Amino acid sequence: HPTLLQPYSERAKTATHPLSRYLFRLMDLKASNLCLSADVTTARELLALADRVGPSIVVLKTHYDLISGWDYNPQTGTGVKLAALARKHGFLIFEDRKFVDIGKTVQMQYTAGTARIIEWAHITNANIDAGKDMVRAMAEAAANWKARIHYEVKTSVSVGTPVAGQFDDGEEQNNGGSDRDSDGRKGSIVSITTVTQSFEPADSPRLAKTNEHGDELVFPGIEEPPMDRGLLLLAQMSSKGCLMTKDYTQACVEAAREHKDFVMGYVAQEALNSAPDDNFIHMTPGCKLPPPGEEENGHVEGDGLGQQYNTPAKLITLLGTDIVIVGRGIIQAADPPTEAERYRRKAWKAYLARLS
Ligand code: 5IU
């Protein structure tokens, strides 16, 4: 496929999704096609790791639900702090949430609840086993989120049990004018309040670019990412005995093409672009290097719990993925920033080898 031989700087020009265009340019600028899977156990470690490894990566992958002490405060919490580090070092945040449910539920899980993922994660992912309509549901949630940005939002909040007449389902209520609803329940409105909220996302380009000491808070050389949210479809997994079939993977490809303005690409084990104008981005976990000095043959021993590993060279040069996702290979090294640089160099070399 043509995208296998195109430099990321070229693909930046033709990708449909604004965040993909940004990400391809960022990759070119930082000479990095590395994503760190920041699977540490505490929020403190997560933030420290993101700050130290930030210069080597273009994407930071999180699992907010395995972090203890995650602070949910929408103004000062862990998501907001991560967003600040992403601005400072120039990387995108990818919450590996693997959404899978009916569309309505997924919309609520994505935008509300405890973690309010949409507020701080540029990218998230979904398993489409439940049917591809949930992709449309998530796209709709993201579009609504974007439409709210920079606007004063008026919200009407009613608390209490609805009374007759509050139900406007278009049907004549045959309750004879009593204060009962159509199901015969009695109820009363406790209060109705109008709240005005000002809404500024955690990674908004309208936020200050320097702090009170004059320190730069924004990564130089490229403008800040667009205020868009993107989805990766979980098309293939790295684990042994994975049950995702070829038909499932193909359904992901079709769903991606149907929602180009929201789907950036895939989490997959190989390149899936096949139609002439496909330009989706591929991110691949299950990546590890043999220890420094040891010879590479493409494969590295798994973790004994089903995880299987390939080297950056095999995944990028041979299988055509774009970004390798590395967790324990970097996190468990004696010095994670040094090891992250080793992975960045190897993965970038593998990309250059693919081009030539
Ligand atoms: N992850 C995989 N395989 C997959 C998908 C996600 O390993 O197919 I989708 C996640 C799990 C973990 C990270 O968060 O990527 C890999 O971590 P290690 O590099 O430590 O194995």
| 307 Cβ below 6 A of ligand 1 | yes
Distance 286 CA to ligand 1 centre (A): 6
* Pocket probe mutation, ligand 1, options 46, 238, 283, max atoms within 8 Å of Cβ: 238
| 237 Cβ below 6 A of ligand 1 | yes
| 329 Cβ below 6 A of ligand 1 | yes
pLDDT tens digits, 293-334: 999 999 999 999 999 999 999 999 999 999 999 999 999 999
132-136, 166-170, 204-208, 341-345: which range is least confident on average?
166-170
* Pocket probe mutation, ligand 1, options 96, 234, 300, 321, max atoms within 8 Å of Cβ: 96
**Nearest protein CA to atom 15 of ligand 1, as residue:** 285
SS (H, E, C) the chain: CHHHCCCHHHHHHHCCCHHHHHHHHHHHHHCCCEEEECCCCEHHHHHHHHHHHHHHCCEEEECHHHCECCCCCCCCCHHHHHHHHHHHHCCEEEEEEEECCCHHHHHHHHHCCCCCHHHHCCEEEECHHHCCHHHHHHHHHHHHHHHHCCCEEEEEEEEECCCCCCCCCCCCCCCCCCCECCCCCECCEEEEEEEEEECCCCCCCCCCCECCCCCECCCCCCCCCCCCCEEEEECCCCCCCCCCCHHHHHHHHHHHHHCCCCEEEEECCCCCCCCCCCCCEEEECCECCCCCCCCCCCEECCCCCCCCEECHHHHHHHCCCCEEEECHHHHCCCCHHHHHHHHHHHHHHHHHHHHC
pLDDT tens digits, 3-46: 999 999 999 999 999 999 999 999 999 999 999 999 999 999 99
Can 98 be counted among the known catalytic residues? yes
The catalytic residue among 13, 30, 98, 146 is 98
Average pLDDT over residues 242-261: 97
- Name the phi and psi angles at 275, rounded to 5: -70, 150
Q: What is the value of pTM for the model shown?
A: 0.87
Q: Percent of the chain scored above 70 by pLDDT?
A: 86
125 Cα nearest atom in ligand 1? 9
Confidence band, pLDDT 50/70/90 cuts, at residue 164: very low
The ipTM, to two decimals, is 0.98
Residue 343 has pLDDT above 50, yes or no: yes
**Nearest protein CA to atom 6 of ligand 1, as residue:** 285
**Nearest protein CA to atom 5 of ligand 1, as residue:** 237
Residue 344 has pLDDT above 60, yes or no: yes
Q: What is the chain's mean pLDDT, rounded?
A: 90
123-127, 292-296, 341-345: which range is least confident on average?
292-296
Confidence band, pLDDT 50/70/90 cuts, at residue 204: confident
| 39 Cβ below 6 A of ligand 1 | yes
**Nearest protein CA to atom 18 of ligand 1, as residue:** 327
326 Cα nearest atom in ligand 1? 19
| 325 Cβ below 6 A of ligand 1 | yes
Give residue 177's pLDDT.
47
**Nearest protein CA to atom 2 of ligand 1, as residue:** 285
pLDDT tens digits, 47-76: 999 999 999 999 999 999 999 999 999 889
Strand partners, 36: 60, 326
| 312 Cβ below 6 A of ligand 1 | no
